Amino acid sequence: MRESKLTRKTNETDIEIKISLDGTGNTDINTGIAFFDHMLNSFAKHGSLDLMVKAKGDLTVDDHHTVEDVGIILGSALKKALGEKKGIERFGEARVPMDEALATVALDISGRSYLAFDAKLANQNIGGFNPQNTRHFFESLVNNAGINAHLAVTGENDHHKIEALFKAFRCGIEKGCQSQWNRRSEHERRAVIF
C-alpha cells in the first residue's frame, strides 16, 4: 500500500496526517477552519485518496500557520507515500469547472518543486479561511512533495474558484500517481517484463 502517516508540532501548530493513495475517498478532517476542511474533503473524495488530517493551530491569530503547516506535512506525506515513484505516470492534468469557475492544473511529480499560480482571489474570510492563503497552501504542498505544478483559475466567486482548484489538483495528482501498469491493455501487460 502506498500510504504514510506524519506529524508536525511547532509553536503555532500540532498536526497529524495519514494518507493512502490507493484508498476509496474516506476522510476524517478537522483543522478548526470550516472552509479549509471542506476543501480538503473535496480534495480527497474526488479520487481514490484516503485522508486523515487532525490540526490544532493558533487560529486566534489567523489561519495562516495552520494552512501553511497542513500544506507542508501533506506534501511530505504524499512524497513519503510515493516512495521511489517507480512505475507512476508522473504527469497529470485536469480542467475542472464549478459553476462559473474553471480551474486548470498541469503537474509533474518529478522531484523538482515549482509552483506557477494564476488566480485572482479577494482578501475576504470564507468560513475562517483567507483566500490569500490558497497560493501559500499549494506552494507549501508542492515544495515538500517535489511537484512542479501550474495552477490557474478563472471565475467570479472565490468559493467556486478555490474549490475548483482543489478538485483539479486532486485529479492531476491521481493521474500522475497512477501506475503505468493500470493503463496498459491486456496485450501490453502480457508483453511487459518487470
Give the pLDDT confidence of 169-188 residue by residue, as tens digits: 999 999 999 877 655 555 45
Q: What is the mean pLDDT of residues 6-26?
A: 94
> What is the band of 194 on the pLDDT scale with cuts at 50, 70, 90?
very low
- Secondary element (H or E) of residue 190: helix 186-191
* Region 62-69 average pLDDT: 96
* Cell matching residue 176: 500522475
pLDDT number for residue 184: 53
Q: What is the helix (H) or strand (E) element at residue 187, kind and residue range?
A: helix 186-191
Helical spans, DSSP H, in 29-177: 34-45, 64-82, 133-145, 158-177
What pairs with residue 113 in β-bridges?
none
Give yes or no for a contact between 102 and 95, defined as CB atoms under 8 angstroms apart. yes
Spatial separation of the C-alpha atoms in residues 41 and 30, rounded to whole Å: 10
> Which three cell numbers mark 117?
499560480
Question: Whole-model pTM above 0.95?
Answer: no
Task: Calculate the CA dihedral of residues 16, 17, 18, 21 and round it to 10 degrees.
Answer: -170
Minimum mean pLDDT among 3-17, 24-38, 139-153, 167-181: which range? Answer: 167-181
Q: Other CB atoms closer than 10 Å to residue 150's CB: what's the count? A: 16
Q: Are 34 and 104 in contact (CB under 8 A)?
A: no
State the DSSP string of 126-151.
BTTB-TTHHHHHHHHHHHHHT-EEEE
Q: What mean pLDDT comes out for the span 25-34? A: 95
**Mean pLDDT across the chain:** 91
